[in-house]
Structure 1
Amino acid sequence: MSVEQLKERLFAEGEKLGFTDLELYYEKKESLTIGLYEGEVDKYDFSDVQGASIRGMHNGKTGYAFTEKFDEDSVAFLLKNAVENAELIENEPEELFTQKAEYEEIQFYSPELDTVKPEDMILFLQKVEKKILSSDPRVKKVTTSQMQNQKFEKGLFHDKGLELKEANNFLLFYVSILVQEKDELKSGFVFRISKDFNELDIDEIVKEVVEQGVSMLGERNYPNKNYPVVLKNEAAASLLSTFTSSFSAEAVQDNRSRLKGKVGEKIAAAHVNLIDNPFLPAGIQSATFDSEGVPTRKLNIVEEGNLQTYFHNLKTAKKDGVETTGHAYRSSYKGSVEVSPSNFYIEPAYQTYEQLYAGFEEGIVITDLAGLHSGADPISGDFSLAANGYFVKDGKIVGPTKQMTVAGNFFEVLQDIEGIGSDLVFSPMSFSGYIGSPSLKIKGLAVTVD
């Protein structure tokens, strides 16, 4: 049974059972992941998952149900379970989006990626590995080399006439290496997200990952104190990702955000803008409608340092007496509707990464952060994190530091941003949307070198 057939049968039978509002959401995900180890394929995983869920009003209550099967039996199964679920739920009924609305006409799906064959992916990975190993004698091993071709399709239908469909796809590439000089071992990694297989430049990837690993050799201790700091783009993006939940109206309404009551107030330096843009061509979370069918739009969440809004879905917006911002989110067809950003990032400026630390008499560049889940409190904003990076003297990088512990408060960091780079990247490790940042110059952080 097709999705369209499932929809028609559900809505017809749902009306007979007394559903006054009925919504069908479906999604389909396909991915091929290929990994190499020492030139040979050691991972070849193909995944094809689809499922659907319904949400409907029955006797004044909201009921949910989901299925992985699209057949006649699923119609009765979904409606029966939604009725039973509605009878058990004590929460207030949820509002479904039934309005007529205009949506942006944007194509996020790249047909070019459908032409990428498994043998193309394998050959690319082999070339990268071979070139890395021959580039520098200090490179001892390529520890991880993977590529994933992923496509995603979703649709949302309502018995009042709403019919929405959208698709997205992207190519993920990741490589990590181990370098050694005497007894010192260091690592480096490169992550890429692309809509075009042919734009992945092997020479550029090899140069970046090898230079990154080798640059960490020769680590030294430096005095423990407050330093002016440059958070390199990937480190800045991962820090923002850790505290993104603070901008969610769900967290605010549950007293899990320090930003409660701060709309309209200054929460960051005056030159800081935080943008949520669901229309980025290469954005993993790009979409023209959210998980409730509300049209998405580009928003300045923080504009010139001032908090403009939280992320809202219909439920949180109704509670605050405002309009939804189009940030309803389902982690899967099995999940309930929550709140999450799309492509959320600090707006880049014009300084290069090098210009940001050029004025330091003594300072620290932080290249990556670890322990983000255990060493950070998303409510208070406090963090104490393991970090890698470089010591800067008289505006120039002297060399790598031994592993550091960096402590501070995220909300104070926002206030203390003195410079913003032009090198926007998005965090590969984010679990709260597609989160990005350029490199940031911070007034000061407490740094302890282990």
Structure 2
Amino acid sequence: MFELAERLLDYSKSKGFSQCEIYIEKILEKSFDLKNETDFSKGLTETIGVALRLVKGKFVFFVNSTVNDEKSIERLIDNASSIGFSKKIDVQILPQLNEELSFSEINLFDETKIKDAVYEMSSIAKNADKRIQNVKSSSINTIEKHIWLMNSYGLKSHQAYNTVDAQVSVLAKDKIEEIGWYDQKGFSLDEIDFENIAKTASIRAIEKLSPSSFSTKKLSVILSNEVMSYMLRYFFNIFSAQSVIDKTTKLELGKRAFSSSISIIDDIFAKGGIKFFVDEEGIKKTPTIVVENGELKTFLHNTYTSNKLKSQNTANARRYGFVNPIKVGPANFYLKPTDKSLQDLFDSIDGFYITEIMGMHMANPVSGDFSLGVNGFLIESGQKTHYIKASTFSDNFYNILNKTMAVANDLYFTGSVGSPSVWVADCVIGGEN
């Protein structure tokens, strides 16, 4: 692919662009899915795309295409000034580096072993309890990703890695019906506990079969690792330097922003996350402490924001696919876990354990305000006692991180953003009046 990138780079220069960047992405996805315990299917999707950033005068032009034939990409370059997405620039936007970087860690997956594991998870889930009516889905998905990048300053990088994700969804019935779901991610099949995935999905469904009523109360809350990772992902942009430029964050460098229990790291590698040794502008990534004991140490940057704000580039350029322009995004952005278990948090409170949220997309990403539908469990004497469905939880994300009393050790990732479960004080959970 570097040969293609070099030809496109030379062609772009010949058309009068003073700065050029060629980004080529290849993604190979394989799916192995067993539906309703009997219907097995296998899927394969391969996508190869190219994205170009081309600078002429005070404007940058962005064009992209699937890689079918080179001539069609050259035609895009010919017409970039008229058909490409354009933006006026006031600072340097491409890394001015002349170096080569390469990081490749590809695991080979045994497809026979994968298929066996899919059937095994389905069987374990079905036999976990007589109230499991159906295993709706037992699946394993693998993704292999390659990125090649070159720019006109001599920067040349290649990054390759793969991931595996196994998940089970079951239907339980006892007067009412409930769904239970669980997944685990890793970089190899050996990292995945297939038995635990199946059993946990079944337990989650069974636990919800006897819901109780609940009156509105102010109490301590534990946000599950899944819930907290969703919330942290949704509000990620408050930690982006772009939000400083756009004036859409309340955070200030060097000031205490949150509870001293909160430390946030953006890392190159994390189990359950991704491998991100080079960002998507070709800059080598190093671990970054974003928040330490409640104090904001840095915003996250790409080349544009670091030059605009005259700050250190943290190598957080992300594209989210070749069709999208560069943004500031997470590598492996996570709330730092402690040595406390989830049970330790349960033992610390009588309160509410939130396991599911609805309506996160309606939250205000600037102010931090949210009003969510929630499901979860009452916690009494360290145990889950009653399942509570369709309650409400209204608060503010900044407040949540200020009221965090303790963080557990059960780190879970949603995409590139992760969190353990957290104990938050003084929350109002709405129920029946």
TM-score (norm 2): 0.93
Aligned pairs (5 A) from 1:253-292: 253-259=245-251, 262-280=252-270, 283-284=273-274, 286-292=275-281
1:282-322: CA deviations, max 9, x gaps? 532x2222122222111111111001111211212222221
How far is the alpha carbon of 1:43 from its aligned partner? 4.2
Distance 1:69 1:169 in 2: 21
How far is the alpha carbon of 1:87 from its aligned partner? 11
Aligned to 1:415: 402
Select the residue among 427, 430, 433 that pairs with 1:448. 430
- Whether 2:395 is the aligned partner of 1:395: answer no
1:96-133: CA deviations, max 9, x gaps? 11224686x754x23233xx22x433332222112221
Distance 1:199 1:318, change over 3 A: closer
Distance 2:85 2:394 in 1: 49
How far is the alpha carbon of 1:184 from its aligned partner? 2.2
Counterpart residue type for residue 153 of structure 2: K
Distance 1:35 1:102 in 2: 39
How far is the alpha carbon of 1:248 from its aligned partner? 1.4
Distance 1:102 1:438, change over 3 A: farther
Select the residue among 338, 362, 369 that pairs with 1:382. 369
- Whether 2:165 is the aligned partner of 1:172: answer yes
| Gap runs ≥5 in structure 2 | none
SS in 1 for 2:218: strand
Aligned to 2:223: 231
TM-score (norm 1): 0.89
How far is the alpha carbon of 1:77 from its aligned partner? 1.5
Select the structure that is richer in strand. Answer: 2
SS in 2 for 1:33: strand
Distance 2:424 2:190 in 1: 37
Contact 1:190–1:209 under 8 Å retained in 2: yes
Contact 1:34–1:41 under 8 Å retained in 2: no
1:336-370: CA deviations, max 9, x gaps? 1111111111101111111112132x311112222
- Whether 2:61 is the aligned partner of 1:63: answer yes
Distance 1:112 1:65 in 2: 34
Distance 1:353 1:70, change over 3 A: same
Distance 1:204 1:42, change over 3 A: closer
Aligned pairs (5 A) from 1:50-449: 50-69=48-67, 71-74=69-72, 76-84=74-82, 89-92=87-90, 95-100=93-98, 107=104, 109-113=105-109, 116-117=110-111, 119-181=112-174, 183-259=175-251, 262-280=252-270, 283-284=273-274, 286-360=275-349, 362-374=350-362, 376-427=363-414, 430=415, 434-449=416-431
Contact 1:61–1:87 under 8 Å retained in 2: no
SS in 2 for 1:403: strand
How far is the alpha carbon of 1:425 from its aligned partner? 1.3
SS in 1 for 2:6: helix
1:11-34: CA deviations, max 9, x gaps? 333333333222111000111122
Distance 1:26 1:385, change over 3 A: same
Distance 1:224 1:19, change over 3 A: same
Contact 2:30–2:143 under 8 Å retained in 1: yes
SS in 2 for 1:401: strand
Aligned to 2:27: 29
Moved more, 250-259 or 341-350: 250-259
Distance 1:47 1:15, change over 3 A: same
SS in 2 for 1:126: helix
Counterpart residue type for residue 166 of structure 1: Q
- Percent of aligned positions that are identical: 25
Distance 1:390 1:281 in 2: 28
How far is the alpha carbon of 1:266 from its aligned partner? 0.8
Distance 1:279 1:106, change over 3 A: farther
Distance 2:49 2:299 in 1: 30
How many residue pairs align between the two structures? 432
- Whether 2:7 is the aligned partner of 1:9: answer yes
How far is the alpha carbon of 1:137 from its aligned partner? 0.7
Q: Which runs of 4+ in 1 moved over 6 A?
A: none
